[in-house]
Amino acid sequence: MERQLDTNLLGSIGLIRAALPHLRKQGGGRVIQVSSEGGQMAYPNFSVYHATKWGIEGFVESVAQEVAPFGIEFILAEPGPTPTNFAAGLDAAPAMDEYADTPSGGVRRALADGSFKLTGDPVRMVEIMIDSADQAPAPRRITLGSTAYESIHAALTDRLARLTAQKELAVSANLDT
């Protein structure tokens, strides 16, 4: 858990914070932060991973507003499931049955048995990320892969419907004025 938080969240925040003075000094620039579809939706058995991705997306949303007056823009890249070396450590990990009843056990099983489909093309995704840096203005988010698009679309549609259903409740919490 600490490794994921340190790598995906705290490491990214630290790198962004270190880059901002340089970007301000040069009069602006772009930061492409690799997130994941997992920053907009959630799969079971990926709870800590999703916490890091939702966390970095919230951080970027906030800091982007803070540094916009300095000509600094952010792009959140949200790839879907993609064949990378993410699963490379599975063979070297302890026997899978040691993880059977843990969240990482579900992920390991799904990757090992092929039920978690890896559909994204990592080369195309990187090309799109690089090309996005030349767009003016920079897109705040780029969704990469059909799985990511469908998953994020479904999650946002559901969240919006749930929010809309609570409008009266939300307004009722206002101060009487």
Residues with a catalytic annotation lie at: 49
Distance CA 168, CA 154 (A): 24
Which tokens sit at 29? Answer: 């620039």
Which amino acid does the sequence have at 163? L
Cβ pair 35, 12 in contact under 8 A: no
Mapping DSSP to helix (H, G, I), strand (E, B) and coil, where does residue 106 land? helix
Q: How far apart are the first and last CA of the chain?
A: 46
